[in-house]
Amino acid sequence: MKTPLLFLLVALATPQLAAQGLTDVQRHLLDSLVTADVRPGSPGLAVGMVQDGNVIYSNYAGLADLESGIAIGPDTRFNLASTGKQFTAFATLRLIQAGKLSLDEKLEGFFPEFDPRISKVLTVRHLLTHTSGLRDQNSLWSLQGITWWKNSFSNEDVMALMAQQTALNFEPGSQHSYSNANYVVLAELVARVTGQDFSQYTQGLLRELNLEASAHEPDHTAIGPMAVPYFQWDSWESYDWVSDVVGDGAFFSTLTDQLTWEKVLQNQEEDWVKVSQSLIPGDEVRTYGYGLEFGEFQGRRLRYHDGSTGAWKATTWRFDDPQLSIVVMTNSGAIVPSWLARQLAEVMLGTFHAEKSSFPLGPELVGNELAEETWLGTYQTGPDYFYRFVKRKGGYWLERPNRDPVEIEWEAGAVYHEINDPAFKQHFDYDSTGRLQVTAYYPTHDPYSLQRVTGIEGKQDYSPWLGTYRDTDSGAVWQIVAGRRGEIEALRGDRKMSVKQYIPNQLLVGGFRVEATPPEEGNIDTLWVSSSRLHRVKFERIED
């Protein structure tokens, strides 16, 4: 519920970015947005902006430590997670500019422990732009039932896991697919080229930039005071940080340091600064550079990166026109920095509206009502995201992967909505090829569409799937077993994973997509397991 003050501030806000900092109205509006999701006695966030080389805004809300009551302030250190990849890229770039590395240098001379089929084709460029095809280490551990951030893994553990790999997700350079392993390998590459520990080497670079409180932290026992991360369940709950992996994340910093960094970037007194904020020359990837993503926001070029490790989250947005940087970091699982950065950018660009969503709330035309036999069924977008609309218990229900079913009802024309959350709307129509599709609308994201596919019908014979399977590269062992009610379950050790099937020859197992073609007779011998950061990892049947 927006307050009358917020309405007034929006009405009075200057429609253009102030040339000399903020107006009082802009400042009050920014303060209202920053503190909107921070309640007394809760974790919070640190937010700042730099314009034309000067800090024009900073704000702190909430507690760094609920137990001690210490408030978040200029010296509070947060884990910036993947937002820290830019500093790993920065260290790599400095070595490239010093002539100690080249973008197209192969990895085989640095990593003799890697399978030569991998090290002979991978280059520094591939690592920087996430085009290597290296499998994400956290996803590989997840195959084994291991939650990476609950374990004291180090870079040595990641490198050992990479050395076990005999295949890649794809041919290097053929695709862009985000993998944390790229930046851990970059960190180790920096260490081997310089002969120094990666964290020690980068600390020297950071101190040259007057980033006194920033560091990659490879020893969780020696980090010192920091913003404790909290999730909100029935109450705020913290957890111990025990990971020692660096390069892909675990970059701890303060808002003061991050605003200093933004000033360095905006002033661009050194050649490497300009290069670090550009796309990598000669590369076909136009959306990712030196630890930064490239896109647009409201017609303006934007450089940005988000980071998320548990409840720690951070985001950085950078515009060239106007020259503006926005930094958000939080220790609260209830705050979404990327959404807040969007709102703050809208305030600065004069496009923020308190009651108007930035996203369409529904279709412009509702269309004609469709007979239920026309629209009930299965819809798909991408390889593993589905909607299944079914009729049961006298009503209509929507089933989705890893979500509880929700009941929906007719609204108007070909539009339905969730009964318990009417803002979630589904609109049925036909795409340009005449294929039936459903488009989902919600106030906090862009609409997205799923196309009608042939789903499974009736009771399925899962007996060919049953058995034990092993991935030799990671050592992961899965069992697929029969459930009590004709369904199947998947086990990783003693951990059970939910199994859903929406289309033939594919199972959704936990957060993984499992593909196989059952033979006409006998059992399945090979499973191909994929996720957002793994592609067709081969699991072979072993003797039970």
Residue 357 has pLDDT above 90, yes or no: no
Band the pLDDT of 521: cuts 50, 70, 90: confident
If one counts every other C-beta atom within 10 angstroms of the C-beta of residue 212, the result is 14
| Cα 299 to Cα 40, 158, 295, 319, 357, distances in angstroms | 38, 40, 10, 11, 18
Q: What is the mean pLDDT of residues 528-534?
A: 97
Reported as a pLDDT band with limits 50, 70 and 90, residue 5 is very low
- With a pLDDT cut of 70, the percent of the chain lying above it is 96
- Nearest residue to 139 (alpha-carbon basis) of 474, 382, 403: 474
Rounded Cα gap, residues 307 and 299, in angstroms: 24
H-type helices in 379-483, by residue range? none
246-247-251-257 Cα dihedral, nearest 10 degrees: 150
What pLDDT is attached to residue 269? 82
> For the domain 463-542, what is the CATH code?
2.40.128.50
Per-residue confidence (pLDDT) for residue 270, from 0 to 100: 86
Q: Where are the alpha helices (DSSP H) in 195-236?
A: 198-208
| Distance, CA of 501 to CA of 6 (rounded, Å) | 47
Residue 544 is predicted with a pLDDT of: 60
Q: Is the pLDDT of residue 20 over 80?
A: no
Give the whole-angstrom CA distance, residue 274 versus residue 89.
Answer: 13
Question: What is the overall mean pLDDT for the chain?
Answer: 94
Average pLDDT, integer, range 206-230: 97
Taking domain 372-453, whether its CATH number is 3.30.479.30 is answered by no
The pLDDT value recorded for residue 178 is 98
pLDDT in tens, 286-305: 999 999 999 999 999 999 99
How confident is the model over 356-378, as a mean pLDDT?
93
**Residue 386 clears pLDDT 70, i.e. is over it:** yes
Instruction: Give the Cα separation of 263 and 275 in Å (integer).
Output: 16
Domain ranges of the chain: 78-349, 372-453, 463-542
Residue range 78-349 in CATH 3.40.710.10:
yes
pLDDT of res. 9: 46
pLDDT (tens digit, 9 = 90+) per residue, 62-88? 999 999 999 999 999 999 999 999 999
Q: What is the pLDDT of residue 494?
A: 81
pLDDT at 17 exceeding the cut of 80: no
Per CATH, 372-453 and 463-542 having the same topology is answered: yes
The one-letter amino acid code at 220 reads H
Q: Would the pLDDT of 2 be above 80?
A: no
